[in-house]
Amino acid sequence: MSPRRSLILVLFAALCCAAPAWAKRATYIRPVMKSVSTTGLTQVVIQNLVGPIDIITQPTDQVKIAILVHGGGLDRVFARTLTQQLHFEIRKIGPQLRIIGHYPVKQFQNYGYPYMKSFFFIHGTDTNIYRGHRIHIRDVGNKKSVELWAEIRVTLPSSLSLVIRNIYGNVRMRGNGGGGNGSLDGFTDVGDFLIHNPRWARVKLDSDYGSIKFLDGFGVVQDMHVKTDFGGTYFYLRPGASGKIITHKKLGFLHNNFNDALFKSDGDGHKVMVLGDGRGTVVHVDMNVGSLHLEKAP
């Protein structure tokens, strides 16, 4: 981007930020669509600053990518221009497919998001490092921020391993078809994980501020590690579920509304529950502030 273009964009942003809070905002959505052959691939990596991520696994020989880049401002021209400043790099590097969001972090360090989490109706501000820059995520309408975020939807086979690094936004996953030997490694700094029927053999999920929910059992997962710093963990299980749940928590409770099994201490600071014959999924749960809930799947 030329210095002149950068200056014009900054001036537009300044005018936008100086506007009264009651001013009407315009929005614009720029779609990015692409399909990539799975030939030669073993892993997909997704990196985004702000916005939700939706994943579907199903038998397919293509990784299908749909990205909706959202921009907002006082008029549609500004909103459209803003969306053009967010570029997604989608390319193969050896056996890895990378989907990386390149935000204009040199020009803007404050981003407005319309789905901020709140505590007692107060919207917080999240500060994090994205690609080497200190970035703030704020509520839309904040005078310091520009509204620029991306909604990412990816369909891929469960034979591919998946890595997700999201700073702010929920992550939803839905599995279809048979299970694969791949793995899932997901992180979101602020956001919930909502999982339906996972098809990976190994799963690792981490949310600093948000909950982790398996809404319909553990799918075909054999080994699972989930971690929350501030937020609960919810397992909705079907009759006959078997496996072992190993928990470590600092502040919170262990609720079992699924069956009559009890958590027992293993002498190393963990609480362990055996489900059924114990031969199913081995689940490790690490919570700082939050409770574990075992429930019956609806």
Beta strands in 217-279 (DSSP E): 223-230, 233-237, 243-251, 254-256, 264-265, 271-275
SS3 122: strand
Ranges of residues in the chain whose predicted pLDDT is under 50: 1-22, 120
Q: What DSSP designation does 215 have?
A: B
pLDDT value, residue 196: 97
Q: According to the model, what pLDDT value does residue 13 have?
A: 47
Cα→Cα distances 169→7, 24, 53, 63, Å: 30, 25, 7, 22
Q: Which two tokens stand for residue 280?
A: 């199913």
Q: Is 3 helix (H, G, I), strand (E, B) or coil?
A: helix
Whether 192 contacts 212, CB under 8 Å: yes
The whole-model pTM stands at 0.89
Q: What is the pLDDT of residue 269?
A: 85
Burial 281-290 (b: 16+ CB within 10 A, else e): bbbbbbbeeb
Would you state the pLDDT for residue 145? 92
* pLDDT for the residue 17: 47
Which token pair is 296? 């019956």
Residue 8 has what pLDDT?
39
CB 200 within 8 A of CB 184: yes
What is the maximum alpha-carbon separation in the chain?
68
Q: Is 100 exposed, middle or buried (0-12, 13-18, 19+ CB in 10 A)?
A: middle
> Residues 238, 239, 245, CA angle at the centre, nearest 5°?
70
Report pLDDT digits (tens) over 194-232: 999 999 999 999 999 999 999 999 999 999 999 999 999
Task: Report d(CA 261, CA 231) in Å as an integer.
Answer: 24
Name the DSSP class of 78.
H
Distances (CA, A) of 179 to 135, 164, 202, 276: 38, 19, 11, 22
Position 6 scores a pLDDT of: 45
Q: Closest Cα to residue 49, out of 85, 2, 77?
A: 85
The Cα-based distances of 152 to 25, 46, 68, 126, 266 in angstroms read 23, 9, 7, 20, 41
